[in-house]
Chain A
Amino acid sequence: MPPLLEVIDLHTEFRTGAGLVRAVDGISYTVDPGETVAIVGESGSGKSVSALSLLRLIPDPPGRVTQGRVIFAGRDLMQLSEEQMRNVRGGDIGMVFQEPMTSLNPVLTIGRQITETIEQHRGHDPVAAQRRAIELLGLVGIADSERRLKQYPHQLSGGMRQRIMIAIALACDPKLIIADEPTTALDVTIQAQILELMQSLTRRLGVALIIITHNLGVVARYASRVNVMYAGRIVESGSAAALYHDPHHPYTLALLRSVPRLDRPRQARLDPIEGSPPDLTRLDRGCSFRPRCRFAIARCAEAPPPLEAAGAPGQFAACYRSNELAAVAGEAA
């Protein structure tokens, strides 16, 4: 079966006062039908820009997708007309963003926002749309749907608003949902409710999910495959099990080592990644992780390492030392 989504060598730039920012610098990945794929990385690594790029939502100016193809269900999204693209967004691709308050319209009722999507994409009449809206609220675990549909976004809690966003994302039977930090603003018990809900619904309805997060625990719990981003590139990708248990990029390794874990004995001291994330306007031609990397060698300064097979089948890493990493890191530890 061909992948549902194939992102091929995508590049997105921003022209800023400080210089040219290559926010997404040649990323490629695939998502199979019904699969949950995570994009993980620290703030500024290009996770949101990569998602907005494939949805063609990058503000131009200052931004521009300069290169790449995005094959979704057999069509290259980069070649569609703006009108065709509007039908894809909210239709075959649903979206859930971090702050539902900014994606929901504050002056429209919840009901109107759901029915509007259904009427626009599926051409339902208002009565059918209303019926579907009630059904959707039930699906996302909101009781008392008649009353809720008449409420405005500000009358709901953060968790409720995110449930509404999920209902809207599901409204037109999408093939894919892109969720960008869907629970980052929520408390841990509400985060768990929302993620469990997304997992059970996408599984039940066979919808693929791209979940963008900086939380390594969320990735481990919900994703089958993972792309790790650093400075606009995917530096490692593969199955979650392979990446967490046998990382082949120093950044993945360092990320995993820097977090305290509730299931392990308390460490005497944490092992941070020294330094700070790079300034994207001042990248040199070498590996962008080099200034913080414990394993850098002379070659790392010459050219950015390509993403190549490393480790388990289906695992890839962009590091000149990926295949010696386990041995070298073991010595260092």
Chain B
Amino acid sequence: MTAIAGDVASHAAGKPVGNTAGNQGPLLQVRGLRMHFPVTEGMIARRHVGDVKAVDGVDLVIGRGETLGLVGESGCGKTTMGRCILRLETPTAGEILYDGVDIAKLGRRDLVALRRRIQVIFQDPYSSLNPRMKVGSIIGEPMRVHGVEPDAGRRSARVAELLSLCGLNPNFADRYPHEMSGGQRQRVGIARALALNPEFIVCDEAVSALDVSIQAQIINLLEDLRDKFNLTYLFIAHDLSVVRHLCQRVAVMYLGRVVELAACDELFDNPLHPYTRALLAAVPIPDPVVEATRAFQPVAGEVPSPINPPPGCVFHPRCTLAVAECRRTRPQLRELRPNHWVACDVVQ
């Protein structure tokens, strides 16, 4: 329970964790968020033998119109964070204040209204698009379901508009997903997400599966749409150079926790958490001359199981700076430099 008390204390102390970059006020505030998935054993009487602590006490603020990057290696809880915000999961504990309302506990009817305001773009455009539906129906479907555009004629006009907004010829409405390239399918996924005029979009590895030349096209599109519609993004990705390009602030996750949070330039220029530093060092720079001058030692070991996370700082088994205290006490996010939060008690 000490950890929870610690999270609350950081708020009670005044400043919420991670000021937003925008000046339009917060759109989303996540406090003490936990998502634990029960692990059971036995076929008939299923015994609860533990929990996957996918998200284990996360605090975040995202300003209106801001893009927050969420980075970290697979299994650290990024998708689960996104799914909680989309309320595709009901969190185990914590608050998700969206525009001032705690959506963590909303009932089904209120969720319908929420779904119009928060949308998602997935990694794999292929598996997230219904292969038996034409592109026009894929994009039009949410409008029909939500009764936004009940008139079929007006709906197809809107589909055409969305397609061209996303850089596709409107006659793509008559195609099936398998008749398109990966980049084109991702544009369809984006058009579908925009159909209900959302204000907030969770981009979950939205460009990760694309070839670099296509990736740049989609990144530019996401930027244009953000400017045009004042969109707020939670941009989940594991490619740090893409995150740096697109985001105003970045949160680094490790094993269900945010270990570092800062404005984008600050985080990449002055990474403080040993894990963030290890991640950055591991990214090879596309320049052989630069690489020839970079001596580096990859961080050892692998990410431990989220069922039995290590005590104290979850990174301590791989950390070269770890001291005895790191094995005992879970470090809380502290503001080591202005608006630069780090969950490590060793770095200065």
Q: Which residues of A contact B (CB under 8 A)?
A: 42-43, 157, 159-160, 187-193, 196, 214-223, 240-241, 244-245, 254-256, 258-263, 266-267, 269-274, 276-277
Q: B219–A217 contact, CB under 8 A? A: no
Q: B214–A272 contact, CB under 8 A? A: yes
Q: Which residues of chain B come closer than 8 Å to A259, judged between CB atoms?
A: 212, 216, 241, 286
- Is B171 in the interface zone, CB < 8 Å from A? no
Which B residues between 167 and 218 are near A, CB-CB below 8 angstroms?
Answer: 181, 183-184, 211-217
Q: Which residues of chain A come closer than 8 Å to B215, judged between CB atoms?
A: 258, 272
B 235-268 to A, binary, CB cutoff 8 A, 1 in contact else 0: 0001011101100000000000000000011001
Nearest B residue (CB) for A196: B298
Q: Which residues of chain B come closer than 8 Å to A240, judged between CB atoms?
A: 288
Known A187-B238, A276-B183: A241·B288 in contact at CB below 8 Å: yes
Q: A269–B298 contact, CB under 8 A? A: no
A277 to B213, CA, bound (A): 9
Q: B217–A274 contact, CB under 8 A? A: yes
Q: B268–A216 contact, CB under 8 A? A: no
- Nearest CB of chain B from residue A157's CB, rounded to whole Å: 6
Q: B298–A258 contact, CB under 8 A? A: no
- Nearest CB of chain A from residue B203's CB, rounded to whole Å: 16
Q: A258–B283 contact, CB under 8 A? A: no
- Nearest CB of chain B from residue A43's CB, rounded to whole Å: 6
Q: Which residues of chain A come closer than 8 Å to B148, judged between CB atoms?
A: none
Q: B216–A261 contact, CB under 8 A? A: no
14 of the cross-chain contacts (CB-CB < 8 Å) are A187-B303, A190-B302, A193-B299, A217-B285, A219-B288, A221-B284, A255-B213, A260-B242, A269-B220, A270-B220, A272-B213, A272-B215, A272-B220, A276-B183
- Nearest CB of chain B from residue A195's CB, rounded to whole Å: 8
Known A255-B213, A276-B183: A262·B244 in contact at CB below 8 Å: yes
- Nearest CB of chain B from residue A85's CB, rounded to whole Å: 32
- Nearest CB of chain A from residue B155's CB, rounded to whole Å: 28
Interface centre among B278, B289, B291 (most CB of A within 10 A): B291
Nearest A residue (CB) for B224: A269
Q: A220–B245 contact, CB under 8 A? A: no
Q: Which residues of chain A come closer than 8 Å to B284, judged between CB atoms?
A: 192, 215, 217-218, 220-222
- Nearest CB of chain B from residue A122's CB, rounded to whole Å: 32
- Nearest CB of chain A from residue B67's CB, rounded to whole Å: 13
Q: B216–A221 contact, CB under 8 A? A: no
Q: Which residues of chain A come closer than 8 Å to B296, judged between CB atoms?
A: 192
Q: Which residues of chain A come closer than 8 Å to B300, judged between CB atoms?
A: 193
Q: A256–B286 contact, CB under 8 A? A: yes
From A157, A159, A216, A267, B212 is in contact (CB under 8 Å) with: A216
Q: B241–A220 contact, CB under 8 A? A: no
Nearest B residue (CB) for A272: B216
Q: A220–B212 contact, CB under 8 A? A: no
A220 to B268, CA, bound (A): 21
From B214, B217, B220, B286, A216 is in contact (CB under 8 Å) with: B286
Q: B73–A270 contact, CB under 8 A? A: no
Nearest A residue (CB) for B296: A192
- Nearest CB of chain B from residue A162's CB, rounded to whole Å: 12
Nearest B residue (CB) for A224: B288
- Is B5 in the interface zone, CB < 8 Å from A? no
- Nearest CB of chain A from residue B164's CB, rounded to whole Å: 16
Interface centre among B181, B216, B240, B290 (most CB of A within 10 A): B216
Q: B244–A189 contact, CB under 8 A? A: no
Known A193-B298, A277-B181: A214·B216 in contact at CB below 8 Å: no
Q: A189–B298 contact, CB under 8 A? A: yes
Known A43-B211, A270-B220, A274-B217: A263·B287 in contact at CB below 8 Å: yes
Q: B286–A157 contact, CB under 8 A? A: no
List 20 additional A-B contacts (Cβ < 8 Å) besides A258-B212, A258-B216, A262-B280. A42-B213, A43-B211, A188-B283, A191-B282, A214-B212, A217-B284, A220-B290, A221-B288, A223-B288, A244-B286, A244-B287, A244-B288, A259-B212, A261-B286, A261-B287, A262-B285, A263-B290, A272-B217, A272-B219, A277-B181
Q: B291–A266 contact, CB under 8 A? A: no
- Nearest CB of chain A from residue B18's CB, rounded to whole Å: 20
- Nearest CB of chain A from residue B171's CB, rounded to whole Å: 16
Q: A260–B241 contact, CB under 8 A? A: yes
Known A188-B238, A241-B289, A276-B181: A267·B245 in contact at CB below 8 Å: yes
Q: Which residues of chain B come closer than 8 Å to A157, judged between CB atoms?
A: 302
- Nearest CB of chain A from residue B304's CB, rounded to whole Å: 11
Nearest B residue (CB) for A45: B211
Interface centre among B242, B264, B278, B286 (most CB of A within 10 A): B286
Q: A263–B302 contact, CB under 8 A? A: no
A221 to B245, CA, bound (A): 22
